[in-house]
Structure 1
Amino acid sequence: MEKTIRLSPTLGAKPPVNAVVLFDGKNFDQWEPAKKMPGVQKIQWLLENGAMEVKPRTGSIITKKKFGDVKLHLEFRTPFMPDARGQGRGNSGVYLQGRYEVQILDSYGLQGKDNECGGIYKVGKPLVNMCAPPTQWQTYDITFRAPRFKDNGEKIQGALLRVLHNGVLIQDEAEAKGPTTAAPDNTETGPGGIYLQDHGNPVQYRNIWLVELPPANP
């Protein structure tokens, strides 16, 4: 029997002319440590072969620029960790505005829960588990709409996330009514950076870019 490898149709997607390129494989110029740690003044993650790799326990990173509504493309690869289980297996995450996490985890062949790959962490499970095997490059294409507020500060709509995982819709305008668990920023007003999590596993990222979207009415 022949082995068939399904590749994401958006793998290697080129940024459009109006995109903000956050990582092109060359440097960390668009990023900074999310939290200054003692003795650490710059990003400690690894940079090789056009990808960045989490150096475990050196801290998460965040974009220097802050954003509102965006359409984000990123590619990631989880490591092969056959002896690890649950949340210790290829764990990382991308937080929109540093507040709303789309989980990254080696969930290949699992049920597809809200704390597994493609889940809005502890908010909503993916419509289908599209996680590829570890060591295979995968894609997220995320359309994010920030919460909406009245002039008096009353929130009238939570954050909305539409997520394609490896080209398949897994979150369809899922609403996060507040920042997800362990979000570094628990406020909800104003723009925020794109935050990549160090959860102690050497997850890799590449080809990260976004297009800023005009505000839309709720």
Structure 2
Amino acid sequence: MPKYQPIIAAVSLALFAVVACAGEPTWTDPAKAAAENVDFNVQGEYAGDKPADTAYQVIAMGDGKFTVVECEGGLPGAPGSAFTSKTTVHADVDAAKVKQLVGDAHRVQRTSPTLGAKAPAGAIVLFDGSKDSLSNWDKASLDGDALCEGTTTKKPFGSFTLHLEFRLPYKPTRQPSNQDRGNSGLYIHNRYETQIIDTFGLHYNAPDKDAWRSLFKQQMGYDSKSDRTQWCASLYHFKNPDLNVAYPPLAWQTYDIEFTAAKFDANGNKTANARITVVHNGIKVQDNVELPKGTGAGGKRPEIPAGPLLLQGHGNPVRYQNIWIIPK
């Protein structure tokens, strides 16, 4: 289960004072974001003393404005939390109102229990922060010791266990649900996409799609800019995750994936569909889901028994680290 620790800071009105930012800035480094954008030091997660106390996810909206999401039962996926996606949303509030709403809750920074997981015996290390490991990828580049998006493994894989860590940029002026708010994706065989995007604080609090869209607009004050099957940890345009356990932007997050490739007979006829399990930040959010074909645009391509892994480039600076795979 995810771990978290309080962020030790004096929570005062002075801390929450906000200076508006011009333009549409993007940060990829949390230290720079904290130094250059006061809103970054307000956004994030706030928890009570007990795991099942009401918790808060504060989303930066740009120019000193925030959306505060009250999470009944605690933070999503936190140890001891009773959260079931039931939320109350306070949209378009300033920093002073954030302070009032969160009350005595303290700001926390959660860490995935699998962050930094070491590759076991038999694993292939695809990226470990070194320049040498770039040789596993086509058109790969580094940002410090992190791998940039927009690259593909040179080697194909069939079925596998995969560990991958990613960090989404901080883009506060892009509305939550906008597909330009830190968009990438893990494309398996260039057919099946597990979405990677900043949808921190957005939840699946209505089972029916039409009811969900109506509730989203009621709570957020605008129409969702995307379908919920385009949100983080979704199987793109096919199935949303069972729970949104995304962390705030610029926090390292993890995917631990079990993938079983589609099977074919000697004549090339498919005999079994592909299946996937996705564990996001230590929480299983896709459980052995059957994939009758590729997802999104990948559904237009014929399925194959083995193929590369693509870290999709979508014009957003998403960063990766500690990627390893165990072929089956």
Q: TM-score, normalised by structure 1?
A: 0.85
Matched, 1:2 2:109: no
2:317 and 2:109 map into 1 onto residues whose CA distance is 23
Q: How does 1:10-159 map to 2 (within 5 A)?
A: 10-27=114-131, 28-33=134-139, 43=140, 45-48=141-144, 50-54=145-149, 60-85=150-175, 86-111=178-203, 113-159=228-274
Amino acid corresponding to residue 296 of structure 2 in structure 1: T
The answer (yes or no) to whether the contact 1:75–1:139 under 8 Å persists in 2 is: yes
Amino acid corresponding to residue 158 of structure 1 in structure 2: N
Cα-to-partner distance string for 1:86-127 (whole Å, 9 max, x where unaligned): 111010000112211000000101125211000000111101
Q: 1:185 to 1:46 in 2, by over 3 A?
A: farther
Matched, 1:179 2:294: yes
The answer (yes or no) to whether the contact 1:98–1:185 under 8 Å persists in 2 is: no
Indicate the percent of aligned positions where both proteins have the same amino acid: 44
- What residue ranges of structure 2 are gaps of 5+ in the alignment? 1-104, 205-227
2:269 and 2:147 map into 1 onto residues whose CA distance is 39
SS at the partner of 1:211?
strand
The answer (yes or no) to whether the contact 1:148–1:155 under 8 Å persists in 2 is: yes
Amino acid corresponding to residue 47 of structure 1 in structure 2: D
TM-superposed CA distance for 1:191, in Å, is 1.1
1:151 and 1:183 map into 2 onto residues whose CA distance is 24
TM-superposed CA distance for 1:154, in Å, is 2.8
SS at the partner of 2:129?
coil
Cα-to-partner distance string for 1:159-195 (whole Å, 9 max, x where unaligned): 1010000000000011221122233982312310111
Q: Which has more helix, going by share of residues? A: 2
2:287 and 2:272 map into 1 onto residues whose CA distance is 15
Is the deviation greater in 112-121 or in 75-84? 112-121
Q: Runs ≥4 in structure 1, deviation > 4 angstroms?
A: none
SS at the partner of 1:29?
helix
TM-superposed CA distance for 1:75, in Å, is 0.2
1:88 and 1:175 map into 2 onto residues whose CA distance is 28
Pick from 195, 199, 214 the counterpart of residue 314 of structure 2: 199
1:178 and 1:210 map into 2 onto residues whose CA distance is 23
Cα-to-partner distance string for 1:131-171 (whole Å, 9 max, x where unaligned): 10000000000000011223343323221010000000000
2:190 and 2:129 map into 1 onto residues whose CA distance is 22
Pick from 253, 269, 281 the counterpart of residue 166 of structure 1: 281
Cα-to-partner distance string for 1:23-43 (whole Å, 9 max, x where unaligned): 01012110003xxxxxxxxx4
Q: 1:184 to 1:194 in 2, by over 3 A?
A: farther
- What residue ranges of structure 1 are gaps of 5+ in the alignment? 34-42, 55-59, 214-218
Is the deviation greater in 179-188 or in 157-166? 179-188
TM-superposed CA distance for 1:65, in Å, is 0.6
Q: 1:184 to 1:65 in 2, by over 3 A?
A: farther
| Greater Rg by CA | 2
Q: TM-score, normalised by structure 2?
A: 0.57
TM-superposed CA distance for 1:53, in Å, is 2.5
2:271 and 2:230 map into 1 onto residues whose CA distance is 26
Amino acid corresponding to residue 273 of structure 2 in structure 1: G
